[in-house]
Structure 1
Amino acid sequence: MAARTPALRVEGLRYEIDDRVLLDDLDFQVSAGQSLAVTGPSGSGKSTLLMCALGLVKPDSGTVSVAGTDVTRLSARGLASHRRRHLGVVFQFGELLPELSPLENVAIAALLGGVERRRAYADAADLLRWLGVPERGTTGLLSGGERQRTAVARALVMEPTVVLADEPTGALDQRTRETVAELLFDVPARRGCALVVVTHDPSVAARADARVSLDSGRLVERS
């Protein structure tokens, strides 16, 4: 039986800016149900790596395949469609619309993806209940942990193949950080997706199935 296509596969990825090599011939893959943590100092290229996976930064060479499709070769329209279907993102500060309710913040991602309104709101409500976030009220008044759990719900509402998280616990206090990290690393097993987390926090990285560090543009495996 043929092996399944990895959810995310990066091969020969290179990116240089202002004569500085940020990513130098990177190779790795993450399968559905698995998690990978990427660590490294500020400016080492961790966020650039995620932007390449999203198709927002075009590498100088190499491929980034999401659900079997090389996103570096897609047109702008094709990339937008593929990203909506296969990629979910969690940012450090949530990047939510503070004037909307948690339910609206999550549902709008599904609506933009072409999901029918009733189903979009039902799926959003189910995710928020699972994550323990109130549906109503103003998102701007939520606690930091509730906002990040809302951001996780938004990332999952389209049932993506890959979830990318950029310092998802970086703005949280220690107790909330542990709660959000536990929830986030539970996602691959529960939702059947791959998870890639960029983090400075070794306790967060330790939760991943595999850990690598970016050092002088190269990936170094960590135990």
Structure 2
Amino acid sequence: MQVNSVLDVRDLHYSVAGRALLDGVDLTLPAGRSLAVTGPSGTGKSTLLNCLLGLIRYDRGEVRIAGKDLAALKPRNLARHRRDTIGMVFQFGELLPELTPVENVAMAALLAGVKRAEAFGRARQLLTDLGVPVEGTPTAELSGGERQRAAVARALVNRPALLLADEPTGSLDTRNREAVAELLFSLPERWGCAVLVVTHDESVAGRADSRFALHEGRLVAQAASFPRGA
């Protein structure tokens, strides 16, 4: 494992009904870098994320997040480690529509034990930085792009070492897809975290520092396709 590695996966295996979804996956991602995993639906991309989150007990192999082996952690310690080190962005945001954006974001910090004033302060600052209306507008009234930026803010509010995103642009139109993709892949430089995005969208994946296709349970390196700095 690299000294500055946030994510380190070794020989990861997971099968369902005799089908190997993950068949010896190896992956290393340091702080300040981004990585994309592509592949059509059903190839195991979301399964891989669930293994990294500690939500699936894999058959064998090793997953280390911020230096800790997930399989060696007891359930309570695993939940705490996940809360403290990982942020997650879902395809549809998974925000509470009746709350304001700042309430949605602050809630994640409050659940992590952050004091109310600090939680709301962090939420307001993140939303402002990411160009999302802070208060006065229910989340349900935001545009699709604004909701996803709010979801990114929520994932960042506890200052994770690793940010995971599962098809984060899949529900967006072309303009918002490009804006959210640009935001996600700017985060390693802006916030110093590692970012892993799983997507079927090649134009989104091409923005990552490195990219892989999940094929027959293994990660296959792909050439970069998006000009860096464009």
Q: What corresponds to 1:41 in structure 2?
A: 40
Q: Does 1:156 align with 2:122?
A: no
Which structure 2 residues correspond to residues 1-223 of structure 1 after superposition, within 5 A?
4-136=3-135, 137-223=137-223
Aligned length: 222
Q: Decide whether aligned partners of structure 1 residues 29 and 3 sit closer, same or farther in structure 2, where only a CA change above 3 A counts.
A: closer
Q: Over the residues paired in the alignment, what is the CA RMSD in angstroms?
A: 1.0
CA contact (8 A) 1:92 1:166 kept: yes
Q: Name the SS of the counterpart of 1:7 in structure 2.
A: strand
Partners of 2:147 and 2:71 lie apart in 1 by 32
What code does the residue aligned with 2:213 have? S
Structure 2: segments with no counterpart, 5+ residues:
224-230
Q: What corresponds to 2:228 in structure 1?
A: none
Query: How far 1:41 sits from its partner (Å)?
Result: 1.2
Partners of 1:71 and 1:141 lie apart in 2 by 38
Query: How far 1:73 sits from its partner (Å)?
Result: 2.0
Partners of 1:142 and 1:184 lie apart in 2 by 19
Partners of 1:97 and 1:75 lie apart in 2 by 30
What code does the residue aligned with 1:117 have? R
Partners of 1:96 and 1:3 lie apart in 2 by 35
Q: TM-score w.r.t. structure 1 length?
A: 0.98
What code does the residue aligned with 2:154 have? R
Q: Percent identity?
A: 59
CA contact (8 A) 1:39 1:199 kept: yes
- Residues 39-58 of structure 1 deviation map (CA, whole Å, 9 limit, x = unaligned): 01110000000000000011
Query: How far 1:141 sits from its partner (Å)?
Result: 1.1
Q: Name the SS of the counterpart of 2:5 in structure 1.
A: coil
Query: How far 1:71 sits from its partner (Å)?
Result: 1.2
What code does the residue aligned with 2:60 have? S
- Residues 119-147 of structure 1 deviation map (CA, whole Å, 9 limit, x = unaligned): 00000000000000011121011110000
What code does the residue aligned with 2:187 have? V
Partners of 2:167 and 2:143 lie apart in 1 by 17
Partners of 1:171 and 1:65 lie apart in 2 by 31
**Which shows bigger deviation, 99-108 or 2-11?**
2-11
Query: How far 1:75 sits from its partner (Å)?
Result: 1.2
Partners of 1:124 and 1:47 lie apart in 2 by 28
CA contact (8 A) 1:35 1:209 kept: yes
Partners of 1:52 and 1:44 lie apart in 2 by 14
Q: TM-score w.r.t. structure 2 length?
A: 0.95
CA contact (8 A) 2:93 2:148 kept: yes
Q: Decide whether aligned partners of structure 1 residues 38 and 3 sit closer, same or farther in structure 2, where only a CA change above 3 A counts.
A: closer
Partners of 1:151 and 1:109 lie apart in 2 by 11
CA contact (8 A) 2:132 2:149 kept: yes
CA contact (8 A) 1:39 1:213 kept: yes
Query: How far 1:3 sits from its partner (Å)?
Result: 5.4
